[in-house]
Amino acid sequence: MPELPEVESVRRGLQAAQLRAPVVEVWRSAYKLRVGKSWAAENLSCLKDNVPKDIRRRGKYIVWEFAGSGGETNGLVIHLGMSGRCGVTTAAQPKVVHTHFALRMADAREVRLVDPRRFGGLRAGPLDELMASEPIGTLGPEPLDPGFGGELLAERLGASRRPIRDALLDQEAVAGLGNIYAVEALFAAGIFPLVEAHRLHASAWARLAGTIVTVLQQGIDNGGTTLKDFRNVEGEVGRNQDDLRVYGRAEEPCPRCRATLVGFVSGGRSGAYCPRCQPRPRTRTIR
């Protein structure tokens, strides 16, 4: 699933396309996308005749602002799911297979969502309502915002008895952080990924917060991580998979000490760690 850096790469691509012409047509395939109460009413028709404005990101979601024809401010939330791709093309270009959404502008360009696995999601409506309701309204702090640090991270997760890797994936605790970047951040911080979160000392939280920011920024600078499906707005793959140090590299040598990396599965998600650089703690508090 695209994580914060991949979604940020898509957001930047859409922003760079300078989509400012009014929406003249909203097209939706007959196939259902993401299910669940937060996505039950897509309400996409409300975007007709709207003028596109700012495109932002909240966690793993793209939030696109529109000026309504009656002076109202609408929004469109896009979730890329497991295999979703957003692209900008001309309206004359035939829709490729698995295209499920197209927003046609008055300048004859279209924004399209292609999603083979159909785990993505779309939801439109008044922007303030979208920001206040699920899934956006329950998200935790943004790790790249000013003020994010060890103290805030400990406040959100310091009482948790879940393994720290699993706890970091809670979107109500940290918005946008997913498995790839959590595993990488824990390696960079030298923290055993299966230790219970409540055992971390303030110094470990501070170190971890710093490495979270570092690995996320690296992912953005590299245009995201492409392991299988991810493509940016131009259809290009990311480059960050070449710089991953432990994720997906179980049984390979540690890039730091050359010990053999160990794979693990927790909460249904796999990861890897170095038994020498991230030793299983023997004390009650991890510093």
- pLDDT 10s digits, 107-141: 999 999 999 999 999 999 999 999 999 999 999 99
Q: How far apart are CA 13 and CA 232, in angstroms?
A: 7
Catalytically annotated residues:
2-3, 60, 269
48: which 2 tokens? Answer: 């007709």
Out of 23-37, 174-188, 225-239, give the one with best mean pLDDT. Answer: 174-188
- C-alpha distances (whole Å) from 52 to each of 75, 92, 196, 202 are 9, 20, 45, 44
pLDDT of residue 231: 87
pLDDT of residue 283: 77
CB of 208 within 8 A of CB of 150? yes
Q: How far apart are CA 122 and CA 39, in angstroms?
A: 7
Closest Cα to residue 233, out of 80, 126, 38?
A: 80
- Percent of the chain beyond pLDDT 90? 89
Angle subtended at Cα 222 by Cα 216 and Cα 227, rounded to the nearest 5 degrees: 85
| pTM, full prediction | 0.94
In terms of C-beta density within 10 A (0-12 exposed, 13-18 middle, 19 or more buried), how is residue 112 classed? buried
Does the pLDDT at position 19 exceed 90?
A: yes
Read off the pLDDT of each residue in 201-227 and give the average, rounded to a whole number.
96
Task: Report the mean per-residue pLDDT for the chain.
Answer: 95
Residue listed under structure tokens 């083979």: 116
Does the pLDDT at position 182 exceed 80?
A: yes
Does the pLDDT at position 53 exceed 90?
A: yes
Domains and CATH numbers, the chain: 4-138 (3.20.190.10), 150-273 (1.10.8.50)
